Amino acid sequence: MPERLQKILARAGVASRRSAEQLILAGRVRVNGETVTRLGTLADATVDRIEVDGVKIDAAPEQVYLALHKPKGYLTTVTDPAGRLTVMSLCPEVPGLHPVGRLDRNSEGLLFLTNDGKFTYAVTHPGHGLEKEYRVHVTGVPDRHVLEKLESGVELDDGPARCRVRLAGRTNSGAVLDVVVVEGRNRLVRRMFLAVGYPVIRLIRTRIGPVLLGRLRRGQWRFLTRSEVHAVLSQCGLKGIRIAKKNN
């Protein structure tokens, strides 16, 4: 994610932000071989080559992987022009941190955040088939034929969709089901149940691949462990991504 060049230099320990501005004004900083003298110039520490007096600096932020229990009412986005609450307000400030995939505003549960684009690609690529599991509360109690229809596939406006589904319990107004999907289409589970006549009242994501929501309370986050990150990548068919020391 692009940042002001002086901020990148300060984070890399080259100088304070004010001193970094003086380095830029003096023409001592180059980005991708071009001398930069304008304050406010943006660069991306993860992809751009940044040099001070001809010496390349290692300004890429440490890779971080978080698990968050997203509460209802938060947008899964970095910023919102309308000033609504986003999941970023629940997490530590980490350069480049962003949500991995979608979880709509009225849904709850497990959400990954990272500043590692390769990890985001691994988790969200539809071809990798990473499972996401949800505890779903619906109005009414679907019978066996409805569950079979959900598993065989229902037609949505953006194409057919299917899931694995199991009746987990009943409530006064309806049923509780465990649902597993491998796609990441917007509001997919809600739209599938609406298509078969059972509107979703509450939706909680309980698992992404091998990682469980567990006892993480609403609004709380934790670092994913090294073994969890490796397990996620393994299920996606990918390996070899460097993992930050924080993720032990």
pLDDT of residue 13: 63
pLDDT of residue 115: 84
CB burial readout 57-96, b (16+ within 10 A) else e: bebbbebbbbbbbbbeebbbeeeeeeeeebbbebbeebbb
Question: What is the amino acid identity at position 71?
Answer: P
Instruction: Report residue 99 CA to chain centroid gap.
Output: 3
pLDDT of residue 62: 77
In order of their start, the domains of the chain are 3-56 (3.10.290.10), 65-125+219-235 (3.30.70.580), 131-208 (3.30.70.1560)
pLDDT of residue 239: 63
Max Cα distance, the chain (Å): 73
Least confident of 7-16, 17-26, 79-88, 140-149: 7-16
Active site residue 80: no
Distance separating alpha carbons of residues 97 and 115, to the nearest angstrom: 4
Taking residues 148-163, what's their average pLDDT? 96
Name the active-site residue from 44, 48, 104, 178.
104
The predicted model scores a pTM of: 0.77
CA distances from 65 to 100, 114, 130, 156, 187 (A): 10, 5, 17, 33, 24
pLDDT of residue 2: 83
Least confident of 21-35, 39-53, 176-190: 39-53
Residue 44 has pLDDT above 90, yes or no: no
Residue 76 DSSP one-character state = S
pLDDT of residue 158: 93
Please tell me which residue, 166 or 239, carries the higher pLDDT value.
166
